[in-house]
Amino acid sequence: MSSTAEFDGLVAVVTGGASGIGAAIASRLTEGGAQVAVLDLNPDDAAEGLFAVAANVADDASVRAAIDAVAERFGRIDIVVNNAGIGAQGSIEDNPDDEWHRVFDINVVGIARVSRAALPHLRKSPSAAIVNTSSIAATAGLPQRALYTATKGAVLSLTRAMAADHLREGVRVNAVNPGTADTPWVGRLLSSAEDPAAERAALNARQPHGRLVAASEVADAVAYLASPRSGSTTGTSIAVDGGMHELRLRPE
């Protein structure tokens, strides 16, 4: 097998694949030989050539219809990347209950909806894999991110539980924990800051390697976890965070 053909013959679903990290994952899996379907609120933003389906991961009927459309188009589903997610800012005092429910519904329950709709197809795959996008927020306490962090911690725990439930069905389940990544999401956060340049400098400085994470770097980790070559890797996570979780450097 050539190094660019590891996903040949496989079909991947990437939620939130029309922007940022998801778009980079869709592109990386396509490069690796997969046929990729993007499920997104904004399918028109997906890169040309991808099978883009309108779907809201917070809506079960919409998810089931989208998974059916992918299965009908390609005849199989081997890989699911649960990447769609939204942010939330503030401490526990800052978000009303309905915002807690809304963000959990997308970031956590969305993973359950998409995965359970795809499972009948994954069970038939010779190398089924689910990869969930968690975050550095799941493993490090960040200020003003209480609700978001709670959802991403849940993603990490859910990943392990799913890995245990589906191991013997041949479905591996892993997570990727990106540090602050240079995506439209972070672009929106920066442009809403009082001083976007200072805010970007502060985010860069928070990274031990001194810069934001590239979406393509996260995509390479997802490709590793999704690959048929990673058959012994399940129930774990890879941090792609420039060392933010594990390292303690002295100030320069």
CB of 1 to ligand NAD, least distance (A): 29
Is there binding between residue 32 and ligand NAD (CB under 6 A)? no
Residues near 146 by beta carbon (within 8 Å), at least 6 away in sequence: 90, 91, 92, 94, 95
Q: Does 227 bind ligand NAD (CB under 6 A)?
A: no
- Tokens at residue 134, please? 């968690």
Q: How many residues bind ligand NAD (CB under 6 A)?
A: 28
Is there binding between residue 18 and ligand NAD (CB under 6 A)? yes
Answer yes or no whether residue 34 interacts with ligand NAD by CB under 6 A: no
Rounded CA gap, 107 and 114, in Å? 11
Q: Does 237 bind ligand NAD (CB under 6 A)?
A: no
Least distance from ligand NAD to the Cβ atom of residue 3, Å: 26
What mask of x and - would describe binding to ligand NAD in positions 135 to 154, judged by CB under 6 A?
x-------------------
Q: Which of residues 151-210 bind ligand NAD (CB under 6 A)?
A: 178, 180-181, 183-186
**Smallest separation, CB 53 to ligand NAD (Å):** 10
| CB 67 within 8 Å of CB 45 | no
CB of 60 or CB of 233, closer to ligand NAD: 60
Tokens of 221: 């980790």
Is 148 tagged catalytic? Answer: yes
- Contact footprint for ligand NAD (CB under 6 A): 15-16, 18-22, 40-42, 55-58, 83-86, 106, 133, 135, 178, 180-181, 183-186
